[in-house]
Structure 1
Amino acid sequence: MSLETLADEIESTYNGLDSSVSVELDGETRHELAMLIAALDPDEADELVRRAVHGLFQTTVETGRLDFHLRAGYDVTYDEYLSGMTFDEMTGADQYPQLDDERRYQF
């Protein structure tokens, strides 16, 4: 896969998500959410869910897990996605022809 495939898939998924995503909570998650609501006193429980998504995203980026999964699935990194270019495109490495090692030193 490629950078273009990743960008298309993100756009498609983004457009498919509506503003109110419904999530079923198991007992443990419900208990943890109730504890956070009691401790942090947000205006709405939805605010904590938004924070949780931001926190998970940040942790995934900082630990390198996002890059690992993007490289495995799309052969790009998050930085490449943000810049809109692969590393080879940024450095110009994809502009030069591949060397033929068998004929390299022949005249």
Structure 2
Amino acid sequence: MTLDDLSDDVSDQYSDLGDELAVSLDRETRNELALLTTALEPESTDELVRRAVHMLFQTAIETGNMDFHLRSGYDCTYDEYLSGMTFDEMTGANQFPQAQEKDDRRYQF
């Protein structure tokens, strides 16, 4: 898959999500959300869920986890996604392709 595939998939997911998301909670998540709501006193639990998504996203970026998954599935990084170009396109490596011939004689004396 490519950078273009990633952009298309992100656009599709964005459209599919809509403005609201129903999430089922297990016992542990419900308990943690109740404690966070009590301690932080947000206007609604929706605010805590939004913050949680932002924190998870930021952590995935900072730890390189996002790049790992993007490289595995789409052969690109988050920086490449943001710029809309692959590293090779940014550096011009695609403009001057090298010959792919193996010249084994080069190292023979």
TM-score (norm 1): 0.93
Q: Which runs of 5+ in 2 are unaligned?
A: none
How far apart, in 2, do the equivalents of 1:101 and 1:26 lie? 58
Deviations 1:50-79 (A, max 9, x none): 000000000000000000000000000000
How far apart, in 2, do the equivalents of 1:16 and 1:86 lie? 26
Paired residue for 2:15? 15
1:52 equivalenced with 2:52 (yes/no): yes
How far apart, in 2, do the equivalents of 1:93 and 1:66 lie? 24
Q: CA shift at 1:98, angstroms?
A: 2.4
One-letter amino acid matched to 1:7:
S
Q: Which runs of 5+ in 1 are unaligned?
A: none
Q: CA shift at 1:95, angstroms?
A: 1.1
Deviations 1:7-66 (A, max 9, x none): 000000101111110000011100000000000000010000000000000000000000
How far apart, in 2, do the equivalents of 1:28 and 1:97 lie? 54
Paired residue for 1:43? 43
Task: Give RMSD over aligned pairs.
Answer: 1.4
TM-score (norm 2): 0.92
1:64 equivalenced with 2:61 (yes/no): no
Q: CA shift at 1:4, angstroms?
A: 0.1
- SS of 1:95's equivalent in the other structure is coil
- SS of 1:42's equivalent in the other structure is coil
How far apart, in 1, do the equivalents of 2:70 and 2:56 lie? 16
How far apart, in 2, do the equivalents of 1:91 and 1:16 lie? 35
Q: CA shift at 1:103, angstroms?
A: 8.6
1:91 equivalenced with 2:91 (yes/no): yes
Give the share of equivalent positions with the same residue, in percent: 61
Paired residue for 2:102? 101
